[in-house]
Each structure stands twice: as C-alpha cells, then as structure tokens.
Chain A
Amino acid sequence: MNWGSILDNTLSFMLSPETIGFMLAALGLAVHFGYAGLLNFGMAGFMAIGAYGYAISILSFGFPWWAAMLVSIVGAVIFAILLGIPTLKLRGDYLAIVTIAAAEIVRLLFQSRVFDEWTNSADGLGGYHDSFRSANPIPEGTFGIGPWEFTSDQWWSRLFGLFLVALGLLLVWLLMRSPWGRVLKGIREDEDAVRSLGKNVYLYKMQALIIGGVLGALGGVVIALPSAVIPQYYLPSLTFFVWTALLLGGAATLFGPILGAVLYWGVMAFLAGLLPAMANEGWLPMSSTAAGNFRFVLVGLALMLLVAFRPQGLLGNKKEMTFVK
C-alpha cells in the first residue's frame, strides 16, 4: 500500500474546487438551516442551477465568465423565489420533502432531452473553460509545495473559489451579528413568536433562502469551473453530502461549514485511496470497486452518529444545540 500517495491525494483534495464549492454550499445551508431553521433539502438544485447557468450562458450565449456567473446568481434568486412561494409556509417535514422534490424537478429538466439543445441532456456540458482561463492573472507554470502543487489554471480556479468563500463568510458574519440576523435566529426558534412581534417572517425566510441559495449556486459554479456539468452529479445525495459536511462542522457557526467541507472531503479522499488499496491487499472481503463505494456507507453512518451524538457539530456550542424541535 502506498501511504505516501494516499496522503498526498488526501491533502491535495482538501484544496480542490469540489471542496471549495462544498464550503460555499455548506455556508449557504448554514444560512438556511443553522440560522433560519429552514430544512432545505434542495441544495443540489441550487448548485445545479449555478453550474448550468454558468455553462449554458457561455456555451449557448457566448457570455464572458463573469456575466455567466451573474446569470447563475440571478438563476438562484429566481429559483429561491419560486421555491419559497409555495414552501416557506410549510411545516418543517413538508418543507424538506418539497425542497427535495423541487431540486429533482430541476435536475430532471436539465437531464431531459427536451432542452437538449442547451443542456446536452444526460451527457452534460463541458468545454466552457476558455473565458475563465483567459482572465487568469497568474503567470504560466506550476507552483506550490508538496501535495499542493498546481498549474496556473488550477490555482486560478482555487483562488477564485477561496475568494468567493471569503466574501461569503464576510457577508454571513455581517448579517448574523445585525438585527436582521437576530430576527432570523428568532424565526429559527419560534416563528409564531416573531410574527407576534410584528416581523414579516415570510419575507425574512425568503431573504435567507435567497442568500443561502446564491451561495449554493456559487458553490455549484466553483465545482464546475475546472471540470464539467453532468446532471447525474446533482442527485439528492449531493444535498445529503453537503448536509453531512455542514453538521460535521457545526450548523450555526460561521466557520463550521468551512471546516466541515474540508474534513468531509479529506476523509472521503483518504478513504477513496485507502479502502480500495485495502481490498487489493486482501484485507477487505470485497472488490476494490465495492471498497470504494464502502465510504458512502460510512458517510451515511457518520451522518447518523453526528445527528444523534453531536448535533452541534465540531465547532458548535453544546448549549446552542442545533435542533430544538
């Protein structure tokens, strides 16, 4: 077993666009669930809209990369409004089911042959990278140390992603220490009480849904930046993975989503190296493919253990438990 390369891959993946995209998506989910108490299980839908909005704007309409990102943001806002109108008045469990359904509707539409001209249906989109890469200010070449050695283009998408994460963190930090954030937290605790104090609960929830949704869409964009957009990626399980990352770090904390995303992908990358290698060595009674899939079993178990035994996550305060109802 090659421990060196497994470790190398793990460390490298902790700074991958996918990890960074997860940071943004988990931060968005923290706004939804951690601060506003909205059980949004449709994050994959926001991520898909971000990614497709970006790719389609470039491929079908020839937009520059930054305009394509604006399209993603606008798409996420529209989706949040459409999703919010019927759902924000619903009870928690209904909200969870309906948001999953809405995200699935989005995915099925992107996957359908009906819009093949723009979405390329089940095969997805690729080849939209030129515009973003042409804006790369980093000189050609390979930089970095150890596991974090990347080419100029690779650095560009990572640094840009981290820049968005920093912006997102600043925004969430500013909002959550303001009276606006106080109303939001109040809604999380008991929306009827907040309503009785004259706050337009529906409006606040909608604003939270939009902000978190835009963060999720940007997460989708960051993940898609250097790779491709494939509809099968945006299954409900993607949402569950983001949830796992969020609950790992701590839902109602500022840095919880960031830490959670890094740890989630660190562990996943580590297991992706370790488990098949163990199977190959004969230490696991399964094929190496099966061993690779075994880590998703572990994700499921980790999600269960977290929720049952440490609902406040790694960074959360025990007194400030995430679940009240």
Chain B
Amino acid sequence: MSSSSPDPTASDAPEAADAPLSQDAAQELEGIDEDTVVETLEVEPTHEIHHATGLATGPGAPGVAKVDPILVADHITRSFGGNKAVDVDHLEIPRNAITALIGPNGAGKTTLFNLLSGFDKPDTGEWSFNGRSLAGIPAFKSARLGQVRTFQLTKVLARLTVLESMKLGANGQRGESIWQAVVPPLWKSQEREIEERALGLLQKFKLFEKKDDYSASLSGGQRKLLEMARALMTQPEFVLLDEPMAGVNPALVQSLLDHVLDLKAEGMTVLFVEHDMHMVRHIADWVVVMAEGRIVAEGPPGEVMKDPAVIDAYLGSHLDEDIGVITGRYDEEGNRLP
C-alpha cells in the first residue's frame, strides 16, 4: 500500500543537481541573480538549451515528450454545457521536477486537476501515472498510488484539531480498519510513529504551537500550510498543489516556497498552479501554459514567458512585453523595478 513513498536517496535525479537549483531560486527571490533572466532573454531557443534543462526531449512546445515523465495524459476533454473547460491533447509531467501550470482565470487548470486526481470524470481521455492507467480510477485510489492534491479553496477539517488532521493524512494505518480499530494494542505503536512524523512536519510548517487547536481556528495562510502538510503525511510521490500561495501573507510565501523546493529535494514531483509569474519564474523547472482549456505553450520558465502565445493568452495580442511585467516587478529587460 505504501509503495508510493519515495526514498530520497534512491531518487533518479542526482542530488548535486538539486542543491544549486534551490539556491538559485532563493537568490532570485532576493532579486540578485540577473544572469539567468538575461540568458533566457538573449538566447534564441535551441535544442541544446532544452536539453540543458534535462527534462524534455525536444524544443518547448505543447505536448513535448519528457525524458522521464511521471504522468502522461492524452486527449483529455471535459465540457460543462457547451463550454469546453479542458481540451488537452497531450501532456507529460517531468519526474522529480517542479512544474508550474499557469493560465488566465477560467483556463481550466483546476478542472484539469480535478480530472487528473479522479475528482471529476472527463468526457474523453486517458492518462497514466508511473505507467499505470488512472482513467476511471476513483480519487482515493489515485491518492493511494502516491499522487495527492490540494485544493484551491482550502478544505480544512474544521472540527478536527490540527494534529488530528495531520494524523488522518498518514496512509496504511492499521487502526483505520474497522476490525482492528476496536483493539487499540494493534494500532497504538503505529499511532505513535505517525504522531512523531506529524509533529515533525508541523514543526517544519511552523504550525507546532497550533497542534491542539481546531483547524477551523487557523488563518487562511495557515490553512494552506496545513493542507500541504496534511497531503505530505501520505508520503506522496507526486503532489498537485492548486494555488498553494494564493492569499497567503508575503511573509509566509517565503517559507511555502522553501517547502515546495524541499519537496523536490526529497525526490518528489510537484505540479502547481500559480498566478504570480514572479514565483513561477523562480521555483519552476518547467512551465505549462493553459488558455481556454488548451495547452498553448510549454517550456522552461524564462523562455515560456516570452512566448507570444502566452503573452496573448494573458494580455491580448497587441502587447508583447515580458509576462513578468504582470507582477509589476520586472521591466522588459528582466530587471527588477524599484
């Protein structure tokens, strides 16, 4: 059952490659590192560069094949009435990388999340996780296989305490079987281990002091943190985060970003939705852009944000500035504005 729990040391990606990347990101957050930005601005997209990311097998284009995809989706469509909310021809998510899913409001990002995680059923389509088809698999099973998600509108378990919600997340609990539940000795020792792990995560997510409070009493940002920590209790291999930073106090954003980067360091794969291009630019290894249900662009962050199709999707065709301008922090040269 816990086949999904990845062992960081046995992960495919060399650890050496991870560490600098996270450092870069941290630096970029401070707005120091201009090299990478300039680089993506000046160099025309070539095969070598794509290979340099080590993720894709070809140039960044919608549906490009990945070297080692964790998730492969084909022909996924979902309509609501006449409105085609999702229409994805082919999509691969690279393993052990942070992929950002961006796109204007109503682009179909959340709907795609719902479909991939089994919370909604597509009209057509096939997708597989680790080579295993997930089409038609109920949500809880795909979560058990190691693919967990969080929700755009946080779903806290209001009348459970923070610690209880965390412990609920752990998978493979013996005491969750009704027959064993009535015999506490069967599950007490496991319960202690789970509690230890939960407390460790709470410490990391700065929620330790809140552990005995009802989840309902948490602030919006704390809820985002709790939801992420709770998802991590399942020891997933692939996490789908729907706007994990939305509405979060800037002071908390920093620590959330660190957590996301840590996940990769621990060998997990992350797919996250985010509207703030600045953040996407700094933590994503790969960016997928959706508009009106379709994937309109794919590629490494710096490059994608220059893609006319992306600028189109966000701003309309007459503007050709770098997409980073949206956040108001960069000029077209990629320099941070005062």
Contact = CB atoms under 8 A, between A and B. Distances in A.
Contact of B143 (A171, A195, A324): A195
Contacts of A185: 157, 159-160, 164
Interface string A190-209: 10111111111100000100
B182 A186 contact: no
A198 B148 contact: yes
Most chain B beta-carbon contacts within 10 A, residue among A180, A193, A200: A193
A195 B119 contact: yes
Interface stretch (B37-45, B97-105, B166-174, B272-280): B166-174
B337 interface: no
Interface in B126-178: 138-141, 143-144, 148-151, 155-160, 164-165, 167-169, 171, 173-178
Contacts of A180: 175-178, 181
Q: Which of A171, A182, A188 has the most CB of B within 10 A?
A: A182
Nearest to B114: A192
A244 to B, nearest CB: 22
Question: Which of A175, A180, A183 neighbours the largest number of chain B CB atoms within 10 Å of its CB?
Answer: A180
B140 A195 contact: yes
A197 B214 CA distance: 19
Contacts of B227: 193
A61 B171 CA distance: 47
Interface residues of A, number: 31
B106 interface: no
By CB atoms of chain B within 10 A, which of A183, A194, A198, A319 has the most?
A198
A177 B231 CA distance: 22
A320 interface: yes
B117 interface: yes
B230 interface: yes
Given A189-B157, A197-B148, A183 B214 contact: no
A75 interface: no
B159 A196 contact: no
Given A196-B117, A198-B234, A190 B155 contact: yes
Contacts of B184: 174, 177-178
Contacts of A319: 159, 214
What range describes how many residues of B lie at the interface? Answer: 35 or more
B181 A194 contact: no
Given A182-B167, A195-B139, A175 B159 contact: no
A170 to B, nearest CB: 9
B191 interface: yes
A86 interface: no
Nearest to B164: A182
A174 B156 CA distance: 25
A191 to B, nearest CB: 9
Contacts of A320: 159, 214
Nearest to A197: B169
B314 interface: no
A181 interface: yes
Contacts of A175: 178, 181-182
A179 interface: yes
A183 B140 CA distance: 13
Nearest to A181: B181
Given A179-B175, A185-B157, A186-B160, 4 more contacts: A181-B181, A186-B168, A196-B117, A207-B178
